[in-house]
Structure formats: structure tokens, C-alpha cells
Chains A and B, each alone.
Chain A
Amino acid sequence: MRDYPLNNRCAFPHPDASGAGASINLAPVKDGFVFHVLGDAKSDEAALRQALAKVAPELGDDVRKSSPGQWFWVGSIAVSDVRLAEIQAALTDTFALVDQTHGRLRMVLSGPSSRTVLAKGTMVDLSTDLFAIGQSAMSQIGHIGAMITRVEDDSFELIVLRSFAGSLWDELQHMAAEFLTG
């Protein structure tokens, strides 16, 4: 068989949107995984974490609740097809797992102005005392659906459908333009 080149193409138009000295930084999360976990009617987050710790402790348990009984499980390690199949098989009793690594892309907006920029798109109150680190909300940024997770003090991860990623990226560029001083 001919050796066809296979590249995992990035859906973001530009790799980096920060400028020197900017109070805002937008960067894609290029590696890792996004798994959509679908629980049964009785499942809860504690049970999910317990199951993940047992089945795939090496991948961590960074989960974001997306809707009742559903979560996005994310991590920075690349997971092979074989390992994914093992995890899916091990979880089947309670949780179905769908690979969304290519379908739901992650980007991180960070910096002191990150809340101000996001307030141009989302109606979620992201203030420090109401939106704790680790907390997620399924929302919209402008007209594009996105899951917002606070990952650090002034740092927010956005999960967006791949087909909208370029559009959201461009919109965030416009929203952040006033803070991009570089």
C-alpha cells in the first residue's frame, strides 16, 4: 500500500492570538482528548469519577457536566484507538463513551481581560465568587454554542463544535482586539 500522508489538521485559522504585553491570550488546545460520556438514568458525577479512576487512572478525571447525565471528559494525553476501545468496553455497564476529540475543539482564553471579552458573548456571570475554578456552563458566545470552563484564576477553556471553531475564533479576535496591544 502506498504511503499516503496522514495529518491531523487544525481547525483554527491561526495558532496564537496574543500580542506582546497583551492582557488577553487566545490559544488552541492542540493535543489530548475530549470524550462525551453518557450516563444512564441513575448515574452521577461521583460514580463517574469513581469509574474513571478505576478504568483509566492515567487519564485523570477532568470532567465537565454538559447536561443531566452527560459530561465531557477531557485530558491532555493522546489516547490510542486501542486504549479507547478498552475504556469503552470497561465502562459499558453504566456509561457510554463517544470520542469527540475531533468534533469538539478546545481553546483557552486567558489574561486579566478574559472576563471582559467573554462578557461580549455570554450571558453567564463569570465573576470570581460565582464561577469557581473547575466550574462549567454550557452557553453561547454570540450565536455559537460553547461550553465555558474556568480552568484558572483568569483563564477559561471553551469547547466548541469543530465546524464553528473558525468562526468563534474570529469572533473572539474581534472581541479581544481592544486588548491586543502587541
Chain B
Amino acid sequence: MIPELGLFSLILALPVALCTGVLSLLGAQRGRPAWIALARPGSVALAFLVGVAYLCLTWAFVQNDFSVLYVARQSSSSLPIVYRVAGVWGGHEGSLLLWLLMLTGWAALVRFYSRALPDGLRARVLGVLCLVAAGFLLFILLTSNPFLRLIPGAAEGRELNPMLQDPGLVIHPPLLYMGYVGFSVAYAFAVAALMSGQLDAAWARWSRPWTLAAWVFLTLGIAVGSWWAYYELGWGGWWFWDPVENASFMPWLAGTALIHSLTVTEKRGSFKNWTALLAVSTFSLSLLGTFLVRSGVLTSVHAFASDPARGVFILAFLVAVIGASLLLFVWRAPRMGLGGRFALVSRESLLLANNFLLVVATSAVLLGTLYPLIVDALDVGKISVGAPYFNAVFVPIMLPLLFLIGVGPFARWKQASAAEIARRLRWTLALAIVLPIPLYSFFEVELIGRRPLLNLSLMLALWIFLSAGRHFIQQVRATQGGGSFIAAALKQPLHFWGMHIAHVGVAVFVAGVAIVGAYEAEKSVKMAPGDTVGINHYRFRFLGVQSIEGPNYQALRGEMALLENDRVERRLFPEKRFYHRSAMPMTEAAIDAGLWRDVYVVLDEPIDRERPDDEWVVRIYVKPLVDWIWGGAFLMALGGLLALLDRRYRIRRRAPIQEIRV
């Protein structure tokens, strides 16, 4: 009964979404207050109906209702409760429902936090969001109904893929989807502004906090996903350039460009068309990502059962969304005017360079991701594009961008002086070049220059860190007056704090990537209980394997002691699990995480399968600074959050927007 209620609620949501979308857009176009007024209750009703459907599906999971096909496929009664709740988004149908829930949730948030917006614009934004939701509702109802019954019902479910039975499943998809889907708000704002012809600084100011919020979620989502892959897949890698990772990374790159170009549009009124185009592209890339992941054209951990009808539907939807918004753009954009002029050396042109590099990087990743599909479609053969391509292309594009991060804040708007910037930053640059030298001896005696990329990355990381500090101090001093430095620092606007914290996050990330790439150590060895092996200055003693029983699996648990001067410093317990229902083996790495290094131990294979208490192939990694990678991403997200909380975005009723001086 409950699943039918959920389905009914979803079916009811479709006309609500369509009516609200069409009527509020038409109403805004023709100036009909009655139709415009429909947008607010309509979007809330939509969110409510989708919420009910979502809760019904969750209920079916919690109650182990295996007469629902999706539940029978994704869950089992021995599954711990937390994975039954999270299991809702463990498969195709449920994750689409989560997508939709997020989308309508964002729309409801816009409805509640947009009192300062003119009625017409708000109706348009909500209308666009409702139409996108209608597209997804159609998709779910026609091709991916999660409430489909299994008659007769199964006595027991098939169990969630063991790889997904992990806390990562609980946090990674919701965060990622919040980000993915959140860009729909930026998209809706851009489309609404294009429709009304008011693509101006006020538009940029309104859409900026929403874009930042989506970007913060996406940053966290990608970071958590990367961390999950790191400890779960058992290879100790943190990024594989897997097509599905790229699918989430491309909107992130475009979104990063977008939050920077929005600054220019808000402050100076320039780049308006470009910003609108970026907002459209960012959401289009989110949709493309969904298409790539959900249509089954790509195969990876994330590609669930593939069904050609789904692929065709998403492709058609994608073409409709991108095509319609590009048409609108071509029709409307030329009327928008150019905005403020700027000189060759200015904050604007530096941000333009940022956008240029980020967009080019996005395109390069897009090409590498789609190339196998294009080649396959042309029937020239089957190919794969490996990680070396992405590294070879992505890194050189990012290096100049990293350098520019250090320069950007020092350049004035409109017209800056290259000589003055150089004068302010020369000592910072010199320090960034010299400082890494003593650092090398800290890790390993390595001839300087033997690893040019490592040296350059470390210098750039330091450069970003030092110049952010330099700019911060300079700015605080300028406003300090007679008071204390700390008091003046705390008085700085939050967006200023946010910018520097996010940039320092980039520095931390780059340092982590460079060091772990150059200095990680790996050993794959055969060990009998009692054997000892050394890596760098660490020593490991294998103490044997025990059999243990988990809630829905049986495991062989190894014990490895990390020794320091023959004293046991720490014990690590890597596992090899066998899940009962799916009969799938899983490797669970044991990790001793630390600020300066992770020790990562994996139980690979018993030499003799009949005697698991004897010799094993064991893999051990020592990874210096690997946690800086996620720490850096976290700092970036924190910076975004602070910028988003800045006072100037607080809701004021009909706050007058300052005129832009051109």
C-alpha cells in the first residue's frame, strides 16, 4: 500500500510541476500577477509530493518490503539499518529519485530565501526549476519507476553491492547530488535573466550565493568520493580519471570558473554574457554527467544496469535543455551590452585568464571522457583513454592557473600596474623558490632539479600560501587604524576570509598531491606469520590471520604490527571479507592515518587458499601528506562557505542594488 502511495504521489507531482513551470513562466512574460503567484505554492507542493514519494521508498527499504522489485534487488533483511536507509540511493531508480528530491528541495529553498527578488524574476527562476523537475519526473515514471512491484514478492532481497556497504555511501552521493543539482539554481537564474533581459549586476549578486552553495557541496562530495575510493578500493589511489569521476569533476571545473566570473559581473558589470553561458554550461555538464553515469554507456563502479531506453531519454532531455537555453542565449545575449571596460593588466583580465584556463581544462577532460564513445559510435574500434592522457594534459594547464592565484588578489579592478604588483610580490616569489630546498632533505636526499614537476608544484603551493598571507596582512594593516591586528582581521568581510582560505586550500592540496606522488612507497610481499618487512624507516610484523563473523559477512582478519625500535607502535587489522548473499569477496584496507603520513595495509591473497592461517601476499603503502589532498579540498569548501555567508548576501527586503559605474 505504501509503495502505491509513493507512486501516486510521484504521478501527481508531474502535472503540478508542468503547470507551475509553464504558468509561472508565461505569467512573468505577460505580466499576469495571478499566474506569477502560482510559482510559490506550486514549487512547495512539488517538493512535498516528491518528499512523500521518497519517504515511501525509504519505508519500503526499512520494512524489508521485497515485493518491491527495486528493494528486492538492492537490499536484504540482514543489511544493517543505516545501509537500508542509504541503500535507497544505491541503485539507478533510487538515485534518480534522490536527484529529483534535491532538485525540488533547492526550488523550495529558493522560494523561501528569495523575498528580496522581484516577483517576476522569482516566478521565472522557480518556473525553470519546475520544468527541469518535470523532465526528471517523466524520466523516472517512464523508464525507471522505483515502486515497481515484484509478483510474487521475494522472500529475501539480493543484498546491496558489498562495495557500497560503507559509511561513504551514506555521505558521498547526497553531498555530490546537492552540488550537481544545486547548479540548476544558477542555471535557472541565468535563464530567467536572459528571458527578462535583465542580465545585470543584481542578477549576479542574487545568483552568487546559490552558486557558491552548490560549489561547496560539489567540492565536499568529490572529496568524500575520492577518500572513499582511496580506502575502499584497496589500491591506495585517490583519483583514477575514471569517466564517472570526470563526470563530477567537469561541472566542478566549470563551476569554479563560474564563481569567479560572477564576481566580475557583480562588481564591474562585465562578462555578463560569458557568465550566463558558463551557468548554462555548468548545469549542462551536470546533466551530461548524469547521462554518462546512468545510461550505462560508460562502465564503472557507478554504472548500474543499463537500458537503452534510458540513455535515449536522457540524451533527448539533454539536447532539449542545452538546445533551448543556447537558443535563448543566442536570441537574447547580443542585447545585453558589454559592461565596464578594463585594461590589459587588471583584476578583470586575470580572472578572464582563470576562466580561460578552467574552461580549456574542462574541454580537455570532456574530450578524453567522450573520445572512446565517439570512436565507438563511428565504429572505428574500441579504445580507452587512460590516466596518462589526463595527467599529461591537465597538469600543464593548471600550472599557470596556480601561479595566477597568487597574483590575482594584488591586481586592482579596471586598471592595475604590472610594475607595482611585481614590486609587492618579488620577495614572496623569491621565498617561494628558495624555501622548498631545505624541505627536500626532510623527506629524502634528492638532487634538486631531478624532479622538475615536484619542485615546481611545491614552489607554486608555497607561492599561493605566502602571497595569500601577504595580501591578508596588507589588507588588515590598511584597515587597522590604531586597533590591534587581530581585531582588525576579525572585522574583515567574510568573503575576503573565504577567498584566502579557499586559495590556501588549493596550496595544501597541491602540496599533498606533489609529495604523495613523488615519495609514496609501496611493497607487495609474501609474509608468513611472524615475518617482518621494512619500508623507509617503518617496520611491519605480520602476526597472522583470524576468522571473524560480521553482521552479513564472514571475514579473514589479519593483524599487522607497526614497529618502532622493536616496540609495537600500532596494530593494523586489514580484512578480506566474503559477503554471504552476494558471495562477493571484498578487500578492506587498514589505514593508520596521520597529518604527515598514512600507513596503508592490504591483505591480498593467501598463497594457499586451503590454508588461510599461513602465508599471505600483503601490500603495504606509506603515503606522506596524502591526507592534505582531502584537507585542501575541505579548506576550499570552507572558504566557499564563508564567502557565501558574507553580509552582503544576507536577505534584505527589496534592498537597493548599487548602480554600477562604468
The judgment on whether A and B are partners is no
Interface residues of B (CB under 8 A from A): none
Q: Which residues on A are within 8 Å of B, measured CB to CB?
A: none
